[in-house]
Amino acid sequence: MSLTQASPATSPIGRDTPRLDGPLKVTGKAQYTSDFHFPGMLYAVPVEATIANGRIRQLDTSAAEQMPGVRAIFHRENIGKMLRSVLEQGMEGICEERRPPFADDEIQYYGQYVALAVADTFEAAKAAADAVRVAYDKDKPNVETELEADDDAEVVSTTFGQHERLQSQRGDADAAFASAPVKIDQTYVTPAETHNPIELHATTAIWEGSTLTLYDSSQGVVNFRSVLAQMFDLSKENVRVITKFVGSGFGGKLFPWTHCALAAAAARQLAKPVKLVLSRKMMFQTVGHRPRTQQRVRLGATTDGKLVSLQHDYIYHRSMRDAHHEDCGETTPFQYSVPNLRVTFGRAKRNVGAAADMRGPGAVPGLYAIESAINELADELKIDPVRLRVINEPKIDEGLGVPFSSRHLVECFELGAVKFGWSRRTPQVGSMKRDGLILGWGMAGCSWIAGRFAAEASVELRDDGTARVACATQDIGTGTYTNLAQLASHRTGIPLDKIEVALGDTSLPKGPLSGGSLATPSIVPAVLKAADNAIASLLAIATTARGSLFEKRNSAELVFDEGRVFLKADDREGGVPFTDLLQRANLRLVTGNGSSEAMFDDPKPKFSTHSFGCHFVEVTWQPEIARLRVSRVVTVIDAGRILNPLAGRNQIEGAVVMGIGMALFEHTSYDPQNGAPINSNLADYVMTVNADAPPIEVHFLDYPDKEINEIGARGIGEIGLAGIAAAITAAVHHATGVRVRELPVKIEDLLMW
Ligand code: MOS
């Protein structure tokens, strides 16, 4: 029950709201992890293995130890004990690379840490790290790009728990495919990609007795605490993790990595604060990547475009020891109506670092394959790709057999088509031209999970008219500071500039990971309940404070609105500012706590909860000079109620920009000789830059999804990247006649005629 009335006139929900932390960021006052300094702090630089498979034969640290300013060179013999961690309940204990650093002499990927130099300055530590001599017994690394599934069991253990390799099945997909009049059978490949946030991963570790404090660039401080507590045999209350600002993560910072434990271990051995900031090169080696995928898609359809069979068999690579699960089949069972379906996966071990979630993990490569196959089927059938999708729009989630909480995908297609001008498309390859350029038009649909992690929050109402909202979640650049303030303001009527937001600190009420596009939907109920409880506390005080206008009233007769307390019967006449009541009661503040449950624990959910959307893309093509550009994108997203459309559009635009990179530029290549990611820098790892980014038009449908929370907000961080690569490759085909089924599209692919 709400003790307040929603006040649409002043609520910031649904309004373009500039980031509250914007001024701090543009003035340089925002402290990112590596900006924190402590007295006596030392600098650590890891030594990276220069082989990808083999063993350390000899480690010679003698020269490095003699260098000026060097405090220690750590390795297996002197780093001290570090334990393994294990998955806990409630999104804790998650870690993509479980082996504690330096646990043995085996090297299984290039860049694996073999030693750690610690010195008074970063420069001294770097010089010492470079002076460590390592001799290896080398074996040939396996970084083969052609993927064949390893001989795994039918149920495999992954980072996220157990998964059946037969992921989803209904009807008889083989028989229906065999007898289908129209078939598509193609394999789509997505390369390894590297997250590459601007901010480098960084950890500073400080011990005070048996209490460990870590400043880290983390997307999830609560999980981080649980992993480090396990590794260092500490109780959780003796570990504190702080992340005030994150220069983005894209999933690479969701879970702690080996360097985090190394900083903590070094700080323990030296009894000094130790800071460890990765190099850009290390960012390609030891902190995850989106794994390579190879996905066979078989579609069977009738001649009028009804799908009768869908088979999706995908393989992804993984590291030798770890088991990140890249769930490419996540959306396959429900995206289309099809009576016969089978989704399976396999894994192939390679000498690479542990893979990790990267923006839209699983679904993004998965939808590239499925949406590409649907586009190929449309061409085969000579049916417009929008119409083909509408023909196969499901009424319910046919995988789970339950209705969707809120699915407006057809409306996304319709709006997108109108905004883009899709009806002017002529389907023949190369048939559209403008200003001497060949145009290619393509489109694709998308979806992404929606739901909630467990979350807790607190809201304080204070005697100076300000409020404070606190939650141990993070703002990874997406606007969470602002969302928390908006929610507190929505419920209390206190203006945004009077709301202080505290996040990114495990000493606050447990908050959700900034991942899965789930932080926003998770915090909504927790913050609203916390505000309600703070208000309830205030109303109770109003009836007891000496000399209060409401003394001896029952708090049920009172209502709080826009920062004032009224008698319900008075219909908002008169009323007392809450600050007066607090001052009269000699209270600095009242606090309310709120929590909300995770939505993923229900084995028999009543609804299928997802966001949906679509992209319409135009490319220009100049065959004379093989110049391909994405020239225009229209994206429509159905992600429930949008809390902050300004930040929301920005999320989708950023994802589309990243999607252009996925389609045309990004790939991490491993050197077959030594297994190194060879383009491990921002010059050789090509990404979309401003010159590649076209005008992007973003539309939100804004249907509240009340199954997710009372405001109806789902998340928006990832969905904008789903589907876009398939829309671009369809546009490339429309312009050039070339079907590229292995990303990224290369100039060489288009020089075939
Ligand atoms: Mo996202 S890959 O869950 O940060």
From 193, 414, 718, 748, active-site residue: 718
Q: Are 314 and 297 in contact (CB under 8 A)?
A: no
Contact 186, 296 (CB under 8 A): yes
The tokens describing 467, both together, are: 């409020």
* Mean pLDDT across 10-32: 96
Q: Is 358's C-beta closer than 6 angstroms to any atom of ligand 1?
A: yes
Band of pLDDT at residue 353, cut at 50, 70 and 90: very high
Neighbours of 231 (CB within 10 A): 23
Instruction: Name the residue with tokens 């960021």.
Output: 25
Contacts of 72 (CB under 8 A, 6+ apart): 65, 78, 117, 118, 266, 269, 270
pTM of the predicted model, to two decimals?
0.97
Q: Is the CB of 219 under 6 A from ligand 1?
A: yes
Q: Work out the average pLDDT over 42-47.
A: 98
* Pocket lining: 357 vs ligand 1, CB cutoff 6 Å: yes
Residue 251 CA: nearest ligand 1 atom is 4
355-386 confidence digits (pLDDT tens)? 999 999 999 999 999 999 999 999 999 999 99
CA–CA dist 720, 412 (Å, integer): 13
CA distance 625 to 747: 10
Tell which residue, 449, 174, 410, has the closest CA to residue 329.
Answer: 449
Looking from the CA of residue 517, the nearest atom of ligand 1 is 3
Q: Is 218 touching ligand 1 by the criterion CB < 6 Å?
A: no
pLDDT class for 6, splitting at 50, 70, 90? Answer: very low
Q: What's the 356 CA to ligand 1 centre distance in angstroms?
A: 9
Taking alpha carbons only, the member of 117, 150, 112, 146 closest to residue 131 is 117
Q: Which ligand 1 atom minimizes the distance to the CA of 358?
A: 2
Region 91-97: mean pLDDT is: 97
Atom number of ligand 1 nearest to Cα 253? 4
Compute the distance from residue 518 Cα to the ligand 1 centre, in Å: 9
Residue identifier of the C-alpha nearest atom 4 of ligand 1: 251
In angstroms, what is the C-alpha Rg of the chain? 27
pLDDT digits 0-9 by tens, 533-565: 999 999 999 999 888 889 889 999 999 998 999
**pLDDT digit string, tens, across residues 150-193:** 999 999 999 999 999 999 999 999 999 999 999 999 999 999 99
398 C-beta closer than 6 A to ligand 1: no
Atom in ligand 1 nearest the alpha carbon of residue 357: 2
Mean pLDDT on 2-7: 48
CB atoms within 10 A of CB 683: 7
Q: How far is the CA of 196 from the centre of ligand 1 (A)?
A: 13
pLDDT band of 7, cuts 50, 70, 90: low
Q: Rounded to the nearest whole angstrom, what is the distance from the C-alpha of residue 600 to the centroid of ligand 1?
A: 16
- Ligand 1 close to Cβ of residue 288 (< 6 A): no
Residue 603: predicted pLDDT: 82
Distance of CA 390 to the CA centre of its chain: 29
Bridge partners of residue 298, in order along the sequence: 185, 311
DSSP state of 719: G
pLDDT band per the 50, 70, 90 thresholds, residue 570: confident
Instruction: Indicate the pLDDT class of residue 598, thresholds 50, 70 and 90.
Output: very high
φ and ψ of 589, to 5 deg? -165, 165
Binding site membership of 361 for ligand 1 (Cβ less than 6 Å): yes
pLDDT at residue 545 in the model: 87
Distance separating alpha carbons of residues 411 and 627, to the nearest angstrom: 34
Nearest-atom number in ligand 1 for the CA of 250 is 4
| CA of residue 651 to ligand 1 center, whole Å | 13
* Nearest residue to 595 via CA among 524, 669, 520: 524
**Ligand 1 mean position, distance from CA 219 (Å):** 8
Give pLDDT tens digits for 192-213.
999 999 999 999 999 999 999 9
What separation in angstroms does the CA of 598 have from each of 1, 504, 513, 521, 602? 20, 20, 12, 10, 9
- Model confidence at 600: pLDDT above 90: no
Distance from the Cα of residue 267 to its chain's centroid: 30
pLDDT (tens digit, 9 = 90+) per residue, 461-477? 999 999 999 999 999 99
Model confidence over 246-260: pLDDT tens digits? 999 999 999 999 999
Q: Which of 217, 359, 448 is the best mutation target for the ligand 1 pocket, counting ligand atoms within 8 Å of the beta carbon and taking the most?
A: 359
Q: Is the CB of 712 under 6 A from ligand 1?
A: no
Separation of CA 425 and ligand 1 centre (Å): 35
Atom of ligand 1 nearest to the CA of 361: 2
How many angstroms does the Cα of residue 717 sit away from the middle of ligand 1? 8
Nearest residue to 259 (alpha-carbon basis) of 284, 276, 280? 276
Single-letter amino acid, residue 372: S
pLDDT value at residue 602? 80
How many whole angstroms from 361 Cα to the centroid of ligand 1?
A: 7
Ligand 1 pocket test target in 199, 254, 449 with most atoms within 8 Å of CB: 254
Quote the crossing angle between the two packed helices 724-736 and 363-381, to the nearest 10°: 30
As a whole number of angstroms, the distance between CA 220 and CA 241 comes to 9
pLDDT level of residue 505 (50, 70, 90 thresholds): very high
Quote the distance between the C-alpha of residue 744 and its chain's center.
21
Ligand 1 centroid to Cα of residue 177, in Å, is 35
Closest approach atom of ligand 1 to CA 516: 3
The fraction of the chain above a pLDDT of 90, given in percent, is 95
Report, as an integer, the average pLDDT of 620-649: 97
For ligand 1, whether the C-beta of 251 sits within 6 Å is: yes
Asked if the model's pLDDT at residue 3 lies above 60, the reply is: no
CB atoms within 10 A of CB 418: 14
Q: Supply the pLDDT for residue 753.
A: 53
Which of 248, 287, 357, 476 maximizes ligand 1 atoms within 8 Å of its Cβ, making it the mutation to test the pocket? Answer: 357
**718 part of the active site:** yes
Question: What is the 3 state secondary structure string of 116-163?
Answer: EEEECCHHHHHHHHHHCEEEEEECCCCCCCCCCCCCCCCEEEECCEEE
